[in-house]
Amino acid sequence: MKIATVLRNDDHTRQVDIRLREKLAASTSRSYRFLDANSQEKPDMVLSIGGDGTMLEAVHQYGFEPHYIGIHTGHLGFYADWHPDQLDEFAEALEQVDPLIAEYPTVSCQIRTKDGQLLEKWALNELVIRNASLSSLVVSVFINEQEFEHFRGDGLIISSPSGSTAYNKAVDGALLHPSLEAIQLAEIASINNQSYRTINSALVLPKHHQVELIIMNPEIMLGMDREQGVWKNVDSITCRVGPQKVKFARYKRLTFWDRVRKAFIHG
Ligand code: NAP
């Protein structure tokens, strides 16, 4: 089995990586080959060692083909099932257990610039749009080509179900189980007064719907998972459920609601 690793940049994580390689090298029933970071070969499995942020980096580096597994070098992660003190159990599971493959939906975005370019992007957690300066983001929101509202405020988040527990949660969006093929549009500090009005609730859109955001600001800040930057001359952004999903190999039963409870209620 060809394995690629993506590590958080700290000593503890590097130590966990070394220990894991030693354990898998000692396996007598399976052969594991770790690929170099710059290898052109396609891995069968990608191991993210770090946090959920490390997993986001891994999925953008390796895409939709491999299976992903996370070892969390902090607290329990939403994308990571294993702790560094469970490396023996993990190595045993790799040899003995048939994993369940959990496929998580993504957000797909088409960014249209004022000079007619069309760029395709995707996110596992979310797309975030904010004004590039501290003044308001101004956006006309269309759902399925019908004008829905005129948004004025700090920003908008379009998240996937597995991203619903991240930035989306901080703005009171709903938590969506990743078996739902949907995207969620949530507001960041909308202005609601006698001049401006938005729905002021998060909206969950099914797979066959799309949301189009017509951008009025000359410059915006765009975030797609970990990637972020200032974009000039964006005309519109259209988001829908992505055609591809990210595949996670689950070797033990830890449900999405277990993760939610452990992360937010009882650790
Ligand atoms: P960061 O700002 O260093 O950390 C963001 C935090 O979000 C980390 O604790 C990370 O967990 C956690 N996280 C990431 N994905 C998650 C998920 N699907 N469910 C629950 N928690 C999740 O940024 P980063 O590590 O590069 O991660 C990028 C993400 O940060 C973005 O996709 C966005 O969702 C999130 N973010 C959140 C806020 C907010 O809540 N106000 C603001 C900006 C960005 P780990 O510690 O395990 O890495």
Check if 262 has its Cβ closer than 6 Å to any atom of ligand 1: no
- pLDDT tens figures, 7-32: 999 999 999 999 999 999 988 778 89
**Judgement on whether residues 68 and 53 belong to the same structural domain of the protein:** yes
Known binding residue 103? Answer is: no
One-letter identity of residue 166: A
Known binding residue 145? Answer is: no
**Judgement on whether residues 41 and 158 belong to the same structural domain of the protein:** no
**Judgement on whether residues 21 and 134 belong to the same structural domain of the protein:** no
**Judgement on whether residues 73 and 25 belong to the same structural domain of the protein:** yes
pLDDT over threshold 90, residue 159: yes
**Judgement on whether residues 111 and 219 belong to the same structural domain of the protein:** yes
> 146-159 and 126-131 as β-strands: parallel, antiparallel, unpaired?
antiparallel
What value does the mean pLDDT of the chain take? Answer: 96
Check if 48 has its Cβ closer than 6 Å to any atom of ligand 1: no
**Judgement on whether residues 29 and 56 belong to the same structural domain of the protein:** yes
User: What does the alpha-carbon distance between residue 193 and residue 215 come to, in Å, rounded to a whole number?
Assistant: 21
Catalytic entry in 17, 36, 52, 258: 52
Other Cβ atoms within 10 Å of 22 Cβ, number: 11
User: What does the alpha-carbon distance between residue 204 and residue 104 come to, in Å, rounded to a whole number?
Assistant: 16
Contact in structure between 251 and 89 (CB atoms under 8 Å): no
> Does an H or E element contain 55, and which?
helix 52-62
| Cα(17) to centroid(ligand 1), Å | 22
**pLDDT score recorded for residue 32:** 92
User: What does the alpha-carbon distance between residue 258 and residue 240 come to, in Å, rounded to a whole number?
Assistant: 28
Q: Is 258 a catalytic residue?
A: no
> What confidence category does residue 253 fall into, taking pLDDT thresholds of 50, 70 and 90?
confident
Check if 74 has its Cβ closer than 6 Å to any atom of ligand 1: yes
Mention every residue, 6+ apart, whose C-beta is less than 8 A from residue 66.
Answer: 4, 42, 43, 44, 45, 46, 247
Q: DSSP letters along 184-241, please?
A: EEEEEEE--SSS-----S-EEEETT--EEEEE-SSEEEEEETTEEEEEESEEEEEEEE
**Judgement on whether residues 33 and 120 belong to the same structural domain of the protein:** no
**Judgement on whether residues 119 and 84 belong to the same structural domain of the protein:** no
Q: Helices 87-96 and 11-25 meet at what angle, rounded to 10?
A: 40
Token pair of 180, please?
């739902």
- CATH number of the domain bearing residue 80: 3.40.50.10330
- Number of domains comprising the chain: 2
**pLDDT score recorded for residue 266:** 84
- pLDDT tens figures, 173-230: 999 999 999 999 999 999 999 999 999 999 999 999 999 999 999 999 999 999 999 9
User: What does the alpha-carbon distance between residue 115 and residue 119 come to, in Å, rounded to a whole number?
Assistant: 12
**Judgement on whether residues 92 and 222 belong to the same structural domain of the protein:** no
**Judgement on whether residues 131 and 68 belong to the same structural domain of the protein:** no
Known binding residue 154? Answer is: yes
User: Which atom of ligand 1 is nearest the CA belonging to 163?
Assistant: 18
User: Which atom of ligand 1 is nearest the CA belonging to 77?
Assistant: 47
**Judgement on whether residues 91 and 115 belong to the same structural domain of the protein:** no
Instruction: Give the pTM.
Output: 0.97
Coil vs helix vs strand at 178 = coil
Most ligand 1 atoms within 8 A of CB, residue of 167, 171, 175, 222 to mutate: 167
Q: Supply the range of the domain harboring residue 95.
A: 2-99+251-265
- pLDDT tens figures, 62-115: 999 999 999 999 776 899 999 999 999 999 999 999 999 999 999 999 999 999
The alpha carbon of residue 28 and the mean position of all alpha carbons in its chain are separated, in whole angstroms, by: 36
Half-sphere exposure at residue 122, Cβ-oriented, CA atoms within 13 angstroms: 19
Check if 166 has its Cβ closer than 6 Å to any atom of ligand 1: yes
Known binding residue 253? Answer is: no
- CATH number of the domain bearing residue 194: 2.60.200.30
**Judgement on whether residues 46 and 123 belong to the same structural domain of the protein:** no
Contact in structure between 103 and 247 (CB atoms under 8 Å): yes
